[in-house]
A and B are shown apart, each in its own frame.
Chain A
Amino acid sequence: MNNVFVYIETECTQVAEVSQELLTKGRKLADQLGVELHAVVAGTGIKGKVEDQILPYGVDKLFAFDGEGLFPYTSAPHTDILVNLFKEEQPQICLMGATVIGRDLGPRVSSSLTSGLTADCTQLEIGDFDDVKTKKHYDNLLYQIRPAFGGNIVATIVNPDHRPQMATVRSGVMQKAIYEGKAKNEVVYPEVSKYVSPEAYVVKVLDHHVEAAKHNLKGSPIVVAGGYGMGSKEGFDMLFELAKVLHGEVGASRAAVDAGFCDTDRQIGQTGVTVHPKVYIACGISGQIQHIAGMQDSKIIISVNSDPDAPINKIADYVIVGTVEEVVPKLIKYYKQNSK
């Protein structure tokens, strides 16, 4: 009762990284609240294959539902599992990835349980809340902190009266770490049919095709990112060349993705990937808040921009005032000349 739950997402028997990131965050929240961290996973043929990818992150109890029809994911069976399990377990907090699955499942579960859900949180904290209208005081609520309104403001959301307090978080926002403390590491395999009605399996997946990621933008130590100022898809070619010589990856701002200069899966920012590289080279990026939210933790930020007053320059370590057409080829040239 009253514990912190994390929904674990899988592709076949591979646990999603975002779920491990949330376990690490969930463990911290559970320690702060003095409760246990529980995890729930559902799939087909997962028994014996997923536990080792979940328990080391500080899980006290894992509920593993293994049965036909639970992979590939469809909405209804996974909703039934969470709703019925939560009715028994009465968790106070439930976290899930802000992935396609988490964003399909979370709202369905929250609607069933009439509990609040906050999407795409960038910070989760525990704190008190005084309701101005009802004069009621609440201890130890989950602060669900997220940028709102196109990333222009940050809002702290609470769910005072409804449980569980549910939140989704994007991949890369939290950082995973094997738990150093002692967790109970108990695993149970509940009977799926006690939780899922036969009618829940009515949606059929005819074809399920997932490609291995084409790049490792999230984990790359060097990121070369382009914005709307790159001017075109061809403009991005020189960023790919720069990234190649530096052994980095190419990212993009939302404006560049919306303009069709770069693929969506390379978008950095609040509605894309969050990166923490050693070096971030922002080329022709003005620095909208929603972009900065996804890269501000970079160790060294270099901004290449013809506008000396571009907002991103304020958080940059180095600002090169000049056009990308002039500067990027020079970066490539002088790197080649000076390295080794």
Chain B
Amino acid sequence: MTKALKIVVLAKQVPDTRNVGKDAMTPEGTVNRAALPAIFNPEDLNALEQALRLKEQHPGSTVGVLTMGPPRAGEIIRQGLFRGADTGWLLTDRLFAGADTLATSYALATAIKKIGDVDIVIGGRQAIDGDTAQVGPQVAQKLGLNQVTYAEEILKIENNIATIRRHIDGGVETVEVPLPCVITVNGSAAPCRPCNAKLVMKYKYASCPLERQPEDPRADLYASRDYLNLNQWSVADVDGDPNQCGLSGSPTKVKTVQNIVFQAKESKTLTASDADVEGLIKELLEEKIIG
């Protein structure tokens, strides 16, 4: 027996921390996102793939991408639509800025309540800009839902129970969890499918109101094709409490941020010549550094 599922994918636009420059941090110690290339958080793509597979297995299911960020994070929703998602929501508001994981999870949980009747909330295990892995479980707690973290594959969903294989330290585990639930997906899960050319054609001009120019040349297009209008929500739109959002909703404060300086040593530089390598080995053996 299969039933149609309403799935929300949590996805984050992240600075590509693999290529970080010096001006990456603001003096307040938060990330200067504008200075860095922005990408779809890699493990969120793994989560999107699991969601799209469920959609294929359970006819009538819908997949929506929920993201929080500045207006340009609308790109994350488009990337989701290009791969087969049906809809998306951008949470954007200055009041959300500076959020730690707790304030972020509050905002996301509030939006998920607003979306309503969600069967599965699924996201990446962690984002590469913070590597904390906290937002998934915190969203689950705030919604009062069960959670399965470090998921590698959703094996099946039957009778409203999901069977999930997950990674654990030194092994694997298979668990059963009743829906609705929150799932976070590990990077070892199946990679996400590429963008579909037809969907790219269909959605390439899809955007949120704040992404558009005042006199947008495509205004007629947006008026005639409603699917190009992406949902954009502020704190007020999701009936959020401003005190629990952004910096004011964040119990953790950044005290200081420092560049890392390692103690340089006086190195002995050798060449790859036989004499140098043999000399080093002999020295290490004589000093009993190696046995």
Please indicate which of the listed interface residues B101, B147, B169, B289 has the most CB atoms of chain A within 10 Å of its own CB.
Answer: B169
Distance (whole angstroms) from the CB of B13 to the closest CB of chain A: 15
- Complex formed: what's the CA distance from A159 to B176 in Å? 36
Given the complex, which residues of B lie within 8 Å of A264, measured CB to CB?
188
- Given the known inter-chain contacts A104-B147, A154-B257, A157-B252, please indicate yes or no for A210 contacting B272, CB distance below 8 A: no
Q: Cα distance A326–B271 when bound, in Å?
A: 11
Asked whether any CB of chain A lies closer than 8 Å to the CB of B196, the reply is: no
- Inter-chain CA distance A196–B173, complex, in Å, is 23
Q: Is the CB of B172 within 8 A of A209?
A: yes
Most buried by A among B174, B253, B265: B253
* A210 x B171 contact (CB < 8 A): yes
Q: How far is the CB of B191 from chain A (nearest CB, A)?
A: 12
- Interchain CB contact (< 8 A) of B167 among A100, A105, A211: A100
Which chain A residues (286-330) contact chain B, with CB distance < 8 Å?
289, 292-293, 296, 299-303, 308, 313-323, 326-327, 330
Q: Does A278 contact B (CB under 8 A)?
A: yes
User: A126 on the interface (CB 8 Å rule)?
Assistant: no
What is the distance, in angstroms, from A283's C-beta to the closest C-beta of chain B?
12
Is A219 interfacial (CB 8 A cutoff)? no
A74 and B252: CB pair below 8 A? no
- CB A152 to nearest CB in B, in angstroms, measures 5
0 or 1 for each of B127-153: is its CB under 8 Å from A? (1 = yes): 011111111111011100011111000
Task: Tell me, yes or no, whether B31 is within 8 Å of chain A by CB.
Answer: yes
Q: Is A338 a contact partner of B174 (Cβ separation < 8 A)?
A: no
Chain B residues with Cβ under 8 A from A161's Cβ? 251
Contacting residues, chain A, for B290 (C-beta < 8 A): 222, 246, 279, 335, 339
* A107-B138, A315-B263 as given contacts; A204 in contact with B149, CB under 8 Å: no
User: With A104-B150, A152-B260, A319-B269 known to touch, is A202 a contact of B178 (CB < 8 Å)?
Assistant: yes
Residue B177 interfacial (CB < 8 Å): yes
A115: contacting residue among B133, B176, B251, CB under 8 A: B251
Question: Which of the 9-residue segments A28-36, A117-125, A173-181, A233-241 touches chain B?
Answer: A117-125
Interface string of A142-164 (1 = CB under 8 A from B): 01100111111111111111100
Q: Tally A residues with Cβ within 8 Å of B.
A: 93
A175 to B168, CA, bound (A): 23
Check A308 against B269 for contact (C-beta < 8 Å): yes
Smallest CB gap from A98: residue in B: B133
Contacts of A105 in B (CB 8 A): 137
For the complex, is A232 an interface residue (Cβ under 8 Å from B)? no
Interchain CB contact under 8 A, B270 and A318: yes
Provide the A190-220 mask, 1 if CB < 8 A to any CB of B, else 0.
0000000000001111111111110000000
Identify which of residues 127-155 in chain A touch chain B, using a CB-to-CB cut-off of 8 Å. 129, 131, 143-144, 147-155
Instruction: Tell me the smallest distance from the CB of B35 to a CB of chain A, in Å.
Output: 12
Contact A149 B291 (CB under 8 A): no
Say if the beta carbon of A112 comes within 8 Å of chain B.
yes
With contact pairs A321-B271, A327-B277 given, residues A111 and B284 touching in the complex (Cβ less than 8 Å): no
Q: Which residue of A lies closest to B166 (CB)?
A: A100
Q: Which residue from chain B places its CB closest to the CB of A323 in the assembled complex?
A: B272
B173→A320 contact, CB < 8 A: no
Are A112's CB and B141's CB within 8 A?
yes
Number of residues in B with C-beta < 8 Å to the partner?
78
Q: In whole Å, how far is A293's beta carbon from the nearest beta carbon of chain B?
A: 8
Which residue of chain A has its CB nearest to the CB of B283?
Answer: A318
* Count of CB-CB pairs between chains A and B under 8 Å: 249
Give B223-251 as 1s and 0s: 1 = Cβ < 8 Å from A's Cβ atoms. Answer: 00000000000000000000000000011
Question: Chain B contact residues: over half helix, strand or loop, or mixed?
Answer: mixed
Q: How far is the CB of B259 from chain A (nearest CB, A)?
A: 6
Taking a contact as CB atoms closer than 8 A, the residue among A107, A129, A205, A320 that contacts B101 in the complex is A107
A143 touches B175 (CB 8 A): no
Looking at chain A's contact residues, the main secondary structure is: mixed
B269 touches A321 (CB 8 A): yes
Cβ of B2 under 8 Å from chain A: no
CB neighbours (8 Å) of B102 from chain A are 110-111, 114, 116-117
Give the segment of B16-24, B43-51, B63-71, B76-84 that binds chain A. B16-24
Chain B, Cβ-Cβ closest to A302? B280
Contact A100 B142 (CB under 8 A): no
Q: Assuming A210-B170, A319-B270, is B281 touching A334 (CB within 8 A)?
A: yes
Residue of B nearest to A204 (CB): B176
Instruction: Choose from A107, A156, A330 the contact partner of B277 (Cβ within 8 Å).
Output: A330
Q: What is the CB-to-nearest-CB distance from B286 to chain A, in angstroms, rounded to a whole number?
A: 9
CA of A315 to CA of B261, assembled, Å:
11
Give the distance in Å from the alpha carbon of A331 to the alpha carbon of B281 in the complex: 7
Residues of B within 8 A of A208 (CB): 168, 171, 173
Q: B218 contacts the other chain (Cβ, under 8 Å)?
A: no
Q: How far is the CB of A272 from chain B (nearest CB, A)?
A: 11
B209 at interface (Cβ–Cβ under 8 A)? Answer: no
B residues sitting closer than 8 Å to A (CB atoms) are 15, 17-18, 20, 24-25, 29, 31, 100-102, 105, 128-138, 140-142, 146-150, 163, 167-178, 188, 250-260, 262-265, 267-272, 274, 276-278, 280-282, 284-285, 289-291
A-B contact pairs, 7 of them (CB 8 A): A76-B146, A105-B137, A116-B251, A206-B163, A320-B270, A334-B278, A335-B285
Known: A210-B171, A318-B280. 5 other contacts (CB 8 A): A155-B255, A155-B256, A155-B258, A303-B267, A330-B272
